[in-house]
Chain A
Amino acid sequence: DGGITQSPKYLFRKEGQNVTLSCEQNLNHDAMYWYRQDPGQGLRLIYYSQIVNDFQKGDIAEGYSVSREKKESFPLTVTSAQKNPTAFYLCASSTSGTATEAFFGQGTRLTVV
């Protein structure tokens, strides 16, 4: 089945460690996005990518990094520079141009221990 898959569903990180969240899609979508969700604050855009080997910072990119080496994959690394990383992370994809909707993965809940 076509869709967008995030892994793992739950992730625990020790302070000072980098962690990478996986996002894979088989929808042949050009555009992919990472959002962070905190209670009562909705979704905030971290990074987005419209094509392979190109990505742009969103509203809260500090402390995060991404890569887009393949169309299907858009991993997000939460670095030790991110001071408050505990959150729910959502990946999405869409066709570019006249896209009418974005498809979301099921999310990864990251907790710093």
Chain B
Amino acid sequence: GEDVEQSLFLSVREGDSSVINCTYTDSSSTYLYWYKQEPGAGLQLLTYIFSNMDMKQDQRLTVLLNKKDKHLSLRIADTQTGDSAIYFCAERTWEGGYNKLIFGAGTRLAVHP
């Protein structure tokens, strides 16, 4: 079955880089996503990567994909207090003729001065 795992908590100093890691199990996943959730709000898509890529950069965000190890990471450069949130990794799988998104439990990022 599908499973997406993340560490639950990360604390970084303002201005440092943050790296959030994720592992997934479905080798047939076509897209992998990073979502951000601020308190009491819905999820906002940050970035995604197609499974035939190994890196994607978008301003302060860098996504690395190691398909062999089924490992995905999100690096946030120059982390700011506004980056404090929960970050979810998700994989898109195809099951029974339908697309499904499978989410990890989320990593709570705390940014301190």
Contacts and interface: CB of A to CB of B under 8 A. Distances in A.
A binds B: yes
Interface of A: 6, 31, 33, 35, 40-43, 45, 48, 50, 56, 58, 90, 92, 94, 96-97, 99-107, 109
Per DSSP, chain A at the interface is strand
B43 A96 contact: no
B99 interface: yes
B55 interface: no
A33 B8 CA distance: 24
Nearest to A99: B99
B42 A40 contact: no
B105 A104 contact: no
Interface size band for B: 20 to 34
B88 interface: yes
B105 A40 contact: yes
A42 B88 contact: yes
Interface string B69-113: 000000000000000000010000000101111111110000000
Nearest to B9: A40
